[in-house]
Each structure stands twice: as structure tokens, then as C-alpha cells.
Amino acid sequence: MEHEHPALDLSVDAAELTARLVDFPSVSGAEKPLADAVEHALRALPHLRVDRDGDAIVARTDLGRTERVALAGHIDTVPIADNVPSRLTGATDGAAGDGGVLWGCGTSDMKSGVAVQLRIAATVPEPNRDLTFVFYDNEEVSAELNGLRRLAERHRDWLDADFAVLLEPTHGKVEGGCQGTMRARVETTGKRAHSARSWLGDNAIHKAAPILARLSRYEPRRVAIDGLTYHEGLNAVGIAGGHAGNVIPDACAVTVNFRFAPDRSEEAALAHVREVFDGFDVVLADSAPGALPGLSHPAATAFVAAVGAELGPKLGWTDVARFSALGVPAVNYGPGDPKLAHTREEHVSVAAILEAEERLRAWLVA
């Protein structure tokens, strides 16, 4: 029999709510029980309109405010690594609200952020800006399954906003925009031969040496945008070639990953990669655009001032890029530590969760 989970109680504080969300396993592709619980809890709040598509839930206020802000987060996690149910250490009396560290799958990435979203949804019925809460599925797997991508394609109007905050783990910093990412194969060809008569062939793997040499000499660009410095990177992440232990290979491909600053378009990024590897065949494998910080937007300025957090660039890729593609400036801000995401030792401090909730509340009721 499928295990039944209790309903979500949004009256508990964000740390306790994080623990309960962690105890709701929701590995990518298996989010339905948690999505059901989130939908049920939000539909009980009379000030919100709630819509659902698959295992993505969108809830909105409609107060006629002059500005609308989206608070977004994914409800899925990577596969569990013997780290569910949650456990609390270091609390003064065993209660999450009394400090300590909460351990478990998704504590950092990003059920603590989702808990903060749910608490704001439940306890700020008349915010100073209209709010859209987005809870979506399948962020941790391939892009075509991403719930936010699906919402953008099917229900673009559900995501209308002047500004968005993605509660991905940032360790309490405000991280503006995100870098783009691209993978490409740099290919060489040769002539197959028996390795005992190697002079009759042309070794394609040996021809890859100049590719690696160019990578070792490559000097990544640093660029400042809105006062944030993005550090690009171009690196080999894989190499494939060869047929057998006695065959000179006639094909080889070095897979490179280019992390590019958000002032480059995907087209410009690909042109740069082809320029670096001029003379070789470059085949694009996949690509995702970056997102400009958008910190000059009035809502972003007010958010940064209200939360009083340290500013920095997002050096990885997050779904702020999807909001940016919709014309919605977005930042990353969440209580978790990104360095702990996806690890067996994933954890988050209770104080960080409560501080994130307090800062967002102060911004939205000022």
C-alpha cells in the first residue's frame, strides 16, 4: 500500500515546515503526493487563486497592486541517499524553532526555500505587492521535463510578473541573474588501421592534442554587469574515441562545456567556441541562455535594500533564465548552501531558514 502522508500544516514555522517537506519524498518524476499536499494547503487560503498543471501549482493574490512579484521554487529533489527522513541536531530542546541544523535530502536544494514560500503564502494575505507563488516539478532532470518550462509554454499568463525571486540555495546572498551554459563536441577524423601497422592509419585521438592544448592556454573572460563580476569558463568535460585495443581510431570527439556571462547570447557563445577551435569541426550538443541581473529594476532595488543581503553573481545556471526569457528580471535568494546541494550530507541551519522568511516578510509588508 502506498504510504499516505499527513496534510501540510502551514501554521508551523518555516524550519519545522522544511522538515515536514523533506519527510515527503519527492524525487524528480515522483512529485505528485507532495504536489497534492501543496495544492490542498494553498486552496485552503481564501486570499489565493490556485491553478495546477501536472505537478506544478501556481497561486496568486489579486489585490490590484501596481506591481506583481513571483516567488518560485521546485518541489523535486535528486535521488535520496539514505538521508530521509530529516533529522535535527544541535537544537536546544529538540524543536526546529529553537536553532540547530536540519539534515536531509532537499534541505538545502530546495525544500527550505519552498517552506519559506509556503509560509509567506499563508501568513501575508495583504502584501504590498501582488504575489504569484510558483511550485514546480522536474527541475533536477532534463530541461524538456522542467515544470517551469511547461508552464511558460502552456500558461504564459500564469507567470506574468514585474520581478521574480527564485528561492534556490544562495546561503542567504542575493545572486543576480545567472550564467549561460553550452556543451559542444570538437571532433577530429582519421583513418582506421591495425595497430601493428599503425603507419597505414591516421590516429584521430592524437589529432585531439591541439584541442587540449588550446584549452590549457585559454584565459577565461571576467565581465562586470550591474556591479557583479561573472567569471566564464571553457573546459573539457569528456573525450571519446577508439574502437578496440588493436585498432587505430578514425574518430575522436572532445566535449567542452562553456559557462558564459549573461551579456553573451547563445549565438555569440557558440561563435566564440568555434573561434577558439578554428580549424576543427564543432557540433553543438546543448545550450541554455544566461540571465542578466536586472538589479536596476525598482522592485529589485527595493528587494536588495529590504533583505540587506550580500550581493553576488550566480555563477551556475538556474531557472531565473526562464523568467528572464519571459521579460521578467529575476534574482536567486534562498537559505540553503549551494555547495551542499545533491550531497549525502545535505543540511541547512534553522537560523538561515527563519532569517530568509523574516527578510522576505519585511520586504512584502513594509
Domain of residue 337, CATH code: 3.40.630.10
User: Both 253 and 351 in a single domain?
Assistant: no
Could you give the percent of the chain with pLDDT greater than 90? 84
46 falls within a domain: yes
pLDDT attached to residue 344: 93
Between 5-14, 121-130, 155-164, the lowest mean confidence (pLDDT) is in: 5-14
User: Both 169 and 191 in a single domain?
Assistant: no
User: Both 104 and 92 in a single domain?
Assistant: yes
Q: Which of 230, 254, 288 is the last residue of a domain?
A: 288
pLDDT attached to residue 14: 96
Active-site residue identified among 76, 130, 250, 357: 76
User: Both 34 and 163 in a single domain?
Assistant: yes
Which amino acid does the sequence have at 282?
V
List, for residues 207-217, the tens digit of each pLDDT value.
999 999 999 99
Confidence tier at 320 by pLDDT (50, 70, 90): very high
User: Does residue 86 contact residue 23 with C-beta atoms inside 8 Å?
Assistant: yes
Kindly state the cell numbers that stand for 48: 489565493
Calculate mean pLDDT across residues 91-108: 77
Confidence tier at 147 by pLDDT (50, 70, 90): very high
Full-model pTM: 0.86
Q: Which domain holds residue 280?
A: 180-288
4 falls within a domain: no
Fill in the DSSP letter of residue 127: -
User: Both 223 and 334 in a single domain?
Assistant: no
Among 365, 302, 362, 361, smallest CA distance to 331 is for 302
**Rounded to an integer, what distance in angstroms lies between the CA atom of residue 2 and that of residue 8?**
18
Q: Above 90 in pLDDT, residue 94?
A: no
pLDDT attached to residue 366: 84
Residue 82 annotated as catalytic: no
User: Both 95 and 152 in a single domain?
Assistant: yes
pLDDT attached to residue 293: 86
Q: What are phi and psi of 45, to 5 degrees?
A: -100, 110
Q: Which of 253, 288, 323 is the last residue of a domain?
A: 288
Among 179, 131, 177, smallest CA distance to 295 is for 177
143 falls within a domain: yes
User: Both 250 and 296 in a single domain?
Assistant: no
Q: Above 70 in pLDDT, residue 230?
A: yes
Among 339, 334, 262, 337, smallest CA distance to 295 is for 262
User: Both 144 and 55 in a single domain?
Assistant: yes
Q: Above 70 in pLDDT, residue 98?
A: no
Confidence tier at 97 by pLDDT (50, 70, 90): low
User: Both 144 and 253 in a single domain?
Assistant: no
User: Both 166 and 253 in a single domain?
Assistant: no
* CATH label of the domain that carries residue 186: 3.30.70.360
Supply the mean pLDDT for the chain: 93
Residue 2 annotated as catalytic: no
User: Both 105 and 225 in a single domain?
Assistant: no
**Rounded to an integer, what distance in angstroms lies between the CA atom of residue 62 and that of residue 49?**
8
Query: How many other C-beta atoms lie within 10 A of the C-beta of residue 315?
Result: 17
pLDDT attached to residue 306: 84
User: Both 31 and 170 in a single domain?
Assistant: yes
Confidence tier at 2 by pLDDT (50, 70, 90): very low
Q: Above 50 in pLDDT, residue 1?
A: no
Calculate mean pLDDT across residues 98-108: 91
Greater confidence, 172 or 95?
A: 172
List, for residues 57-81, the tens digit of each pLDDT value.
999 999 999 999 999 999 999 999 9
Q: Above 80 in pLDDT, residue 258?
A: yes
257 falls within a domain: yes
Kindly state the cell numbers that stand for 86: 530529516
Active-site residue identified among 16, 39, 137, 139: 139
Q: Which of 288, 305, 327 is the last residue of a domain?
A: 288
CA atoms within 13 A on the CB side of 225: 25
Residue 127 neighbours by CB under 8 Å, 6+ apart: 61, 63, 65, 120, 364, 365
The domain total for the chain is 2
DSSP strand pairing (68-74 vs 130-136): parallel
115 falls within a domain: yes
